[in-house]
Structure 1
Amino acid sequence: MSANKKLLALAVCAALAAPAARATNGYFAHGYGTKTNGLAGAGVALPQTAMAAASNPAGMVLVGSRMDLGAALFNPNRSYEVSSITGGLGANGGISGSSVDSERTLFLIPHFGRNWMLGEEASFGVTVYGNGGMNTTWRADETPFGLGTFGQAGSPAGDAGVDMAQLFVVPTYARKFGEHAAWGASLVLAYQRFKAFGLKNFAMLSTDPDHLTDLGYDSSAGWGAKVGILGEVAPGLTLGASYQSTISMDSFDKYRGLFAEHGDFDIPPTATVGLAWQTSPRSTLAVDVQWIAYSQIDSVGDPLQPALNQCLGAVMGGTPASAVSSCLGGSRGPGFGWDDITVVKIGYQWQTGPRWTWRVGFSHTEQPIPSSEVLFNILAPGVIENHVTFGFTRKIGEKRELNFAFMYAPEKTVSGVNTLGAPSGQDVELAMDQFQLELSYGWMF
């Protein structure tokens, strides 16, 4: 086996073995690939590496025959704070001013891309990357009285949290048309895994309490499609656009008593448009606008209330939770209540010589978590809104390059009332900040 084939096999195995754990734009990454991440994720009209298919399949035919292999060290810092001890089910173990920090704050996230030119006008490539971020571990012994995050007096729930990760393997065909335009299409093959723990005090509100929590990892697979186009619309100005369909996934059978529609957890559709303006022979400004439709996935977008109050009322009236569609796991069961979001990404890159290229970027997203949905989102506090990025490329000879990117997401908080607390109410505040360092190496053939 040649050295290149061995490296290709090693890269794919590493990416498959380490699904990502991120929570940036909701649970989508702010960008894919080191060069794009140095631009805060902007790149739908500015393909630069074999990771281009993650933003726009059309870009693959413009990057040439190349391979990119890299990894990010991702540091999300998550916490929640509750205002007082109250009755009722939910996050009621807190005292005024107390704060609980999530365990597991450092993750290694690999990525990989390989592109082959098929003559002058077409290309075929494979890109591997991940999403995630619904990942928390709240230790019971760090909560007041050791009751646990979702504990009650006399019924400690133990450690609580979830681990959710998604992996994408994306084969792509792209083709030029005309002198300055291209189209591309990708088959998006997806794998995801999930586990939940510490939620047993919600059993009375589940359609299937034996498939609610503490069952270890479950996995699912599915597929969708992505299409893209880009072209020069004026001298030095390129327009790009891409759309990814809903990715239909197998259900999480072990957690059919937790997620709406009996364990269903599809991946939402996304659409992106952007411009790349060559402001000088050595500099480019890129701007992307991305839309992520979380509300179209019931297990993510359905709100907690009024579903659980309807469920509780029915159960207290003698109806089994298994017969109530608004209970956890039901066809109209609650999810995380996430809204659709629009993300604006702006990046600028410039060359300072034949070997050095520098990048900076900023992105802003709408808040996916309404204040009314803080209780369940203790499990998945994807509240980040802003990202600031920096990066560079250092060419090594004619056919090799080293790429670096840094991301900082300043702390963002979202506060609301525990909707399952006592009538007096209880405030819950979610908080998160993030850092990320990323390195990759590129080979041109």
Structure 2
Amino acid sequence: MRAASIKKLLAPLILAGASTSNFAVELGRIEGFGPVSRGFAGGGVAHATGAAAIILNPAELLSNKPGHEFMVQVSEIQAAIDVRNEQTHEIVHTANLGNNRGPYDLPEVAYSYRGDDWAFGAGIFAAAGFGIEYGRDSFLSTTTTGNVATGLESSGRLTALRIPIALAWQARPTLRLGAALDIVNLGLNIATLYDAKQVRMLVQQDRASGGLVTIVGALPTLAGVHLDFVNDHPIAGGLSGWGIGGRVGASWQVSPQTSLALAYEFETQLTDLRGKGRLTAVDILNNHIPVDGLGRFEDMQLPAAFVVGVSHQASTSVAVIADLRRTYWRKMLGDARFSYRAEGGLFDGQEMNALLALGFNNITSLTLGAQWSPNDRWTFRSGASHAVQQLVKDNNFSGAFPTLTRNHLVVNASYLWQSQYEFTFGCTYAWTPPVHNPGNNTASIPPIKGRNHQITPVISYRLAF
């Protein structure tokens, strides 16, 4: 009876881990790609952004100088995340305890060629690479039910890789059109503990079905359930999938000094994220009952986004940009589905399906940037961006994942050597207001407050030939 009750309580927990790392994708999109967009805090959809235009607005490949360009860039996210238990006043800080959970180096490599009225580009971009590592000894590894210090890991990581191929066409003297097709890989690591109270709440809300979720009775001694889908690898996740994505863009040269642009990024078409992992039931005496199996997040995609931007050359040395971006997270991760099949042992072949309200909001972000070139060698850029909405609603905020960094300030400087070689150095500071979850819900039993700020140094190199 004890084993049967435990396995029926396991089902709803898997999906709760889905929200562990999705903030990373929005983070990467806000901060931009390539030295120019990075210097504008992620903006520049209507501006000449070099080879990085293939992942921003492919039409802007035609704003590059004729000929070839090669770009390589590396940024390193150094996050400072803390979560406070408002009942016990314990604060847990993210750390670099794991082999692959921080700092996060995001490489970008791209090549482009511009002809007279057409352009081509291809590249590899780390579209996200972010996570958390809280170790095994904090309140996030301790159940509220029975106050059991489980010693189980609390961590998470997401990696998203895009490999785009882009074409651009000069349709009219003042109109540029472009499109890109991406090969996309998404990898997710999750190690999260959920209290027995959270499990029962999910069951009471009818968000679980299948052989493992038909609740006959609750095990009185159950304290919590731990979910572990972690692949200790620099790129691959415990759950991963491949697919395609892409974007289209158009730029209109309103005047010699001003251009307007529109770009639309399609939601990805990825396979279900699959991987082998372990669920561990823990009782109030800290006895562990592991259940190995195969997990699958169904139809988890990167969201569609729409961007409108303007670029204006105020003088021969000064340019300014403004972008407005809308990212449609609500459709993709308002709810999420997870299925699980136990493999081996007492639970071999048992299946379950679960649905969890992750509470993601659509995000509107505004970006402003400026560029100053005092001479032919030096270019200085600065930008700021602000996300109007909080990505996850308060009641869905969990200590198992970081909050969105809603505000970004960026500066960078580029030096051109021998008219071919450009070196850029820059830094981003990002922060967000505290996010509060009042507790006693499926995301957290104790009331919690989360904060996140980070510094991201960036170095890049561009070669024109």
Same fold (TM over 0.5): yes
The equivalences for 1:5-404 within 5 A come to 23=24, 25-26=26-27, 28-63=29-64, 64=66, 65-84=68-87, 95=88, 97-104=89-96, 105-117=102-114, 119-132=115-128, 135-141=131-137, 143-144=138-139, 147-148=141-142, 153-154=147-148, 156=150, 158-199=152-193, 213-214=228-229, 216=231, 217-254=238-275, 262-297=297-332, 300-302=333-335, 329-330=353-354, 333-365=355-387, 366-375=389-398, 378-404=399-425
* SS of structure 1 residue aligned to 2:240: strand
1:153/1:263 CA distance change after superposition, 3 Å: farther
Query: Contact 2:152–2:226 at 8 Å: present in 1 too?
Result: no
Q: CA deviation at 1:167?
A: 0.4
Alpha-carbon RMSD across the aligned residues, in angstroms, is 3.3
Is 405-414 or 248-257 further displaced after alignment? Answer: 248-257
**How far apart are the structure 1 equivalents of 2:181 and 2:390?**
30
Report percent identity of matched pairs.
20
Cα distance change of structure 1 residues 411 and 246 upon mapping to structure 2, 3 Å threshold: closer
CA-CA distance at 1:374 after TM superposition: 1.5
Give me the whole-angstrom Cα distance separating, in 1, the residues matched to 2:175 and 2:146. 61
* One-letter identity of the residue aligned with 1:444: A
Deviation string for 1:343-374 (max 9, x for gaps)? 10000001111111111111000211211111
Q: Could you tell me which residue of structure 2 aligns to residue 428 of structure 1?
A: 448
- Report the alpha carbon displacement of residue 322 of structure 1 after superposing the two structures with TM: 6.0
* Matched residue SS, 1:42: coil
- 8 Å Cα contact 1:198/1:214 also seen in 2: no
Give the Cα–Cα distance (whole angstroms) in 2 for the partners of residues 48 and 214 of structure 1: 38
Q: Are 2:465 and 1:442 aligned?
A: no
Cα–Cα, structure 1 residues 166 and 28, in superposed 2: closer, same or farther, change >3 Å?
same
Structure 1: segments with no counterpart, 5+ residues: 1-19, 85-94, 305-320, 324-328
Partner of 2:314: helix, strand, or coil? strand
Q: Secondary structure at the match of 1:234?
A: coil
Q: Is the 8 A contact 1:81 1:428 kept in 2?
A: yes
TM-superposed CA distance for 1:301, in Å, is 2.2
Contact 1:72 1:438 in 2 (8 A): yes
Q: What is the one-letter code of the residue matched to 2:380? A: W
The structure 1 segments of at least 4 consecutive aligned residues displaced by more than 6 Å after TM superposition are: 208-211, 255-261
Q: Do the aligned partners of 2:359 and 2:392 also contact (CA within 8 Å) in 1? A: yes
Q: Contact conserved, 2:59 with 2:176, CA < 8 A, in 1?
A: yes
Sort the Cα spacing of 1:422 and 1:174 in 2 relative to 1 into closer, same or farther, 3 A. closer
Distance 1:214 1:418 in 2: 25
Mapped partners of 1:73, 1:215: distance in 2: 22
Please tell me the residue identity of whatever aligns with 2:372: W
**Count of aligned pairs:** 385
- Which ranges of structure 2 fall in alignment gaps of 5 or more residues? 1-20, 97-101, 203-207, 214-224, 232-237, 280-293, 338-349
CA distance in 1, matches of 2:145, 2:273: 25
Distance 2:298 2:228 in 1: 12
3-state SS of the aligned residue for 2:181?
A: strand
Gap change, CA 1:234 and 1:81, over 3 Å in 2: same
Once the 2 structures are TM-superposed, how far is the Cα of residue 212 of structure 1 from its aligned partner?
Answer: 5.0
TM-score (norm 2): 0.75
- Post-superposition offset of 1:74: 1.4
Q: Which of the pair is proportionally richer in strand?
A: 2
Amino acid at match of 1:111: E
Aligned to 1:11: none
Equivalent-residue separation in structure 2 for 1:421 and 1:223 (angstroms)? 33
CA distance in 1, matches of 2:144, 2:134: 10
What is the Cα deviation at residue 251 of structure 1?
0.9
Contact 1:22/1:29 (<8 A) preserved: no
Q: Deviations over 1:57-82 (max 9, x none)?
A: 11113224201011112111111111
Q: Is the 8 A contact 1:294 1:341 kept in 2?
A: yes
User: By how many angstroms is 1:130 displaced?
Assistant: 2.1
1:191-238 per-residue CA deviation (whole Å, 9 max, x = no partner) reads: 011121133657776666999534532321010221001021134110
8 Å contact kept, 1:22–1:74: no
Say if 1:199 and 1:131 are closer, same or farther in 2 by CA, change over 3 A.
farther
Which secondary structure state, in structure 2, belongs to the residue aligned with residue 253 of structure 1? strand
Secondary structure of the 2:275 match is helix
Distance in 1 of aligned mates of 2:71 and 2:94: 33
Inter-CA distance 351–341: structure 2 relative to 1 (3 Å threshold): same
Letter of the 2:82 counterpart = S
Q: Structure 1 CA distance, aligned partners of 2:267 and 2:25?
A: 20
Determine the structure 2 residue equivalent to 1:314: none
Q: Could you give the per-residue CA deviations for residues 278-304 of structure 1, whole angstroms, max 9, x where no partner exists?
A: 11121111000111101111xx32299
**AA partner of residue 76 (structure 1):** A
